[in-house]
Chains A and B, each alone.
Chain A
Amino acid sequence: MNEEGLSTKRLVGRLLLLVVGMFGFGFLLVPIYDVMCEAFGINGKTSNSAFQGSVQGVDEERNVRVQFISSNAEGMIWSFGPEAAEIVLHPGEAHTMNFIAHNPTDRPMVAQAIPSVSPSKAAAYFHKTECFCFTQQVLQPGERVEMPVRFIVDPGLPGDVRRLTLAYTLFDVTERMAASLDLAGLH
């Protein structure tokens, strides 16, 4: 009986360990998800930092149409949009597109733009060497800025992709930033 009691205790201990492990695994899924998305360029996620590598020349033979879309997340009242709806380029060329943001309110606000590329398999071939989405944007009352994104479409882009879309969603993160950082001039 005593031996049995001990083994039950050990069994329950192991099962509890499994429970704790699976709880941890649930949280581990978060970095796994990010790593998978980045590694396979899925989910339209592009890199959060500037592209450092180089691409193999310019493919003059091919034209790729890059479209620009902007939208505001709920509650965001800035006007926000690209200077042009689309450009046609050769893979390997570096291009710049300006997005214009305007804060129409009478208070300073902070915004974060989140990019997404579709089709999602093209995301891995869309390199941003400079992007306003890498940082947060602080705009004073009534301020209007041009925000550049500089990018290269990798010549390795699969041949069946003739058109890709870069979409930005602009989020209002004023309250979040005010709460955590208390940025100068926000109050």
Chain B
Amino acid sequence: MSAVIDHHHDDHAHGPAKGLMRWVLTTNHKDIGTMYLWFSFAMFLLGGCMAMVIRAELFQPGLQLVEPEFFNQMTTMHGLIMVFGAVMPAFVGLANWMIPMMIGAPDMALPRMNNFSFWLLPAAFGLLISTLFMAGGGPNFGWTFYAPLSTTYAPPSVTFFIFAIHIAGISSIMGAINIIATILNLRAPGMTLMKMPLFVWTWLITAFLLIAVMPVLAGVVTMMLMDIHFGTSFFNAAGGGDPVMFQHIFWFFGHPEVYIMILPAFGAVSAIIPAFSRKPLFGYTSMVYATAAIAFLSFVVWAHHMFTVGIPLTGELFFMYATMLIAVPTGVKVFNWVTTMFRGSLSFEAPMLFSVAFVILFTIGGFSGLMLAIAPADFQYHDTYFVVAHFHYVLVPGAIFGIFASAYYWLPKWTGHMYDEVLAKTHFWMSFIGMNLAFFPMHFVGLAGMPRRIPDYHMMFANFNMISSVGAFMFGVTQLLFLFIVIKCIRGGKKAAAKPWDGADGLEWTVPSPAPYHTFSTPPEVK
């Protein structure tokens, strides 16, 4: 993307600096957004490679390729890297690029902090990945790092894992503060809160979620650190602590975290579906309130991850009903997206394909979530592949498809070129088929009792696992095509108009494509 931006020099403002130091020292929201997006894509490929190791091992029953110990490290690191390294930074990257342009701001409110919060990420993930090469290996306790697996029984490298989480958490918190300050203080005149695009709204709410729960995550890993090195007993029953408390504190962070990973995708899809339906979004206000309701409810449902640890019946009932309640605002959103498409003049370019798939497949993931919310049934599903199927259905066609849709939707704005539509549609269909092949059979093996995070399985699961692996390989390889499409789009292609999508709406389409290095130095007038 740099090559393109370099061509463009505003008459009155300076362009980007030359050379490598441009990227190290930049405070420009577009540069930082680009770096976030590339970083998250690199992490996506790395986490994807780990998923390939997992699926290769599970291709057949029996231990074939890797040691169980290494398999555990792969499942753990795959989860950690995808959650903290791929999905979250990708959305921060989109926020950096788009939020200032959507609200008519010249840049983020705190540009230097913006630079710092990005550059913390390579440090955090460098540290995390380096644990794989240490004696005793990397984290092997699952991405949820339940104590005492992650304390008493953890490999020595766990301390590096803890610091990596600390650094990534600080980065997220700073990013969130920056986004809130930008949205609340830098809106163009006339851009009232209820005129903001939904992507901005969902990110505002996400940022508050981040500020509320990332410090709790920092707290829980600090407690682990103290248990491991300073002789405290937060999670050690011998000293009066309780391992179950770890799960409570972790999921108090963890449940809002899953909405952190999906709300910005809701926002992006709420921009894309109207654009390709050539109709305004149905029920804008209800979308805002539904997002806020989901965010609020996300704080009172955490123990649905813990139905089997032995919480009292009243607790199970409360968390069961509270969890089911989330289906109501989520249903409002799905209804609004479908109604937006209803009787629209639909066209199915790549962003729309990903968005429609998002609505359908995310809903499937939501339904399996409802099944898991039923406390008595959850005793059967808990820690099986059904759970794996559920959260991959909300994360892959949810968060990841949301990111792909956003990338295709705004690539013309970022690069000034149209991407290759044929290749992009190929990317979509390969991803769609691969993803469903990989994750749908997991529902069945999960219901039949196949446990998650195990490198071997009973013969009766062999066929479905082979299908899953084939689908996963297909999905994985296809992402290299995405890399090719993006590079091709950066290097050239049909020139993009300022507003390449005729149904699109928003301030970002009023600036030329590619977006100049500095936009909205003078605030636009919003009516």
Contact = CB atoms under 8 A, between A and B. Distances in A.
B248 A22 contact: no
B184 interface: yes
Contacts of A171: 237-238
Contacts of B214: 19, 22
Contacts of B219: 23-27
B215 A33 contact: no
Given A8-B185, A19-B211, A120-B310, A29 B248 contact: yes
Interface in B24-42: none
A16 B176 CA distance: 11
A45 B185 CA distance: 50
B517 to A, nearest CB: 21
Contacts of A33: 242, 245, 248
Interface string A72-101: 011000000000000000000000000000
A15 B180 contact: yes
A8 B212 contact: no
Interface residues of B, number: 37
Nearest to A15: B177
A37 B245 CA distance: 10
Interface stretch (A51-59, A60-68, A148-156, A172-180): A172-180
Interface in B154-193: 173, 176-177, 180-181, 184-185
Interface in A13-42: 15-16, 18-27, 29-30, 33, 37, 40, 42
A106 interface: no
A103 B315 CA distance: 41
User: What is the interface of chain A mostly: helix, strand, loop, or mixed?
Assistant: helix
A25 B216 contact: yes
B242 A19 contact: no
Contacts of B252: 26, 29
B249 interface: yes
A8 to B, nearest CB: 5
Given A16-B177, A29-B249, A176-B231, A8 B109 contact: yes
Nearest to A73: B238
A16 B212 CA distance: 11
B209 to A, nearest CB: 11
B181 A169 contact: no
Interface in B243-277: 244-245, 248-249, 252
A21 B216 CA distance: 10
Given A25-B216, A33-B245, A173 B211 contact: no
B218 A26 contact: yes
Contacts of B88: none
Contact of A44 (B238, B239, B310): B310
B234 interface: yes
Contact of A4 (B185, B239, B240): B185
Contacts of A19: 173, 177, 211, 214-215
A21 B237 CA distance: 27
Interface string B104-126: 00000110000000000000000
A97 B180 CA distance: 61
Contacts of B218: 23, 26
Given A43-B244, A121-B312, A173-B239, A15 B215 contact: no
B203 to A, nearest CB: 15
Contacts of B245: 29-30, 33
A114 interface: yes
A120 B314 CA distance: 12
B135 to A, nearest CB: 21
Contact of B312 (A11, A22, A120, A180): A120
Contacts of A161: none
Nearest to B182: A8
A28 B240 CA distance: 16
B310 A114 contact: no
A15 B220 CA distance: 20
Contacts of B215: 19-23, 25-26
Contacts of A121: 312
Contacts of B223: 26-27, 30
Contacts of B217: 26
A12 B216 contact: no
A45 B238 CA distance: 13
Most chain B beta-carbon neighbours within 10 Å: one of A15, A43, A45: A15
A48 interface: yes
A37 to B, nearest CB: 8
Contacts of A165: none
A179 B231 CA distance: 9
A23 B216 contact: yes
Select the residue from B176, B211, B214, B315 with max chain A CB neighbours within 10 A. B211
Contacts of B110: 8, 12
B213 A22 contact: yes
A27 B214 CA distance: 13
A42 B245 CA distance: 12
B311 to A, nearest CB: 7
A7 interface: yes
A112 B181 contact: no
Contact of B181 (A11, A18, A48): A11
27 contacts: A8-B181, A11-B181, A11-B184, A15-B176, A18-B211, A18-B212, A19-B177, A19-B215, A20-B215, A22-B211, A22-B215, A23-B215, A24-B219, A26-B216, A29-B248, A29-B252, A30-B234, A30-B245, A30-B249, A33-B242, A44-B310, A45-B242, A112-B238, A114-B238, A121-B312, A173-B239, A179-B231
Please list the 4 inter-chain residue pairs (A to B) with the smallest Cβ-Cβ separation, ordered nearest first.
A26-B219, A171-B238, A23-B215, A22-B215
Interface of B: 109-110, 152, 173, 176-177, 180-181, 184-185, 211-220, 223, 231, 234, 237-240, 242, 244-245, 248-249, 252, 310-312, 315
Interface of A: 4, 7-8, 11-12, 15-16, 18-27, 29-30, 33, 37, 40, 42-45, 48, 73-74, 112, 114, 118, 120-121, 169, 171-173, 176, 179-180
Given A15-B180, A19-B177, A179-B231, 4 more contacts: A19-B215, A23-B216, A43-B242, A121-B312
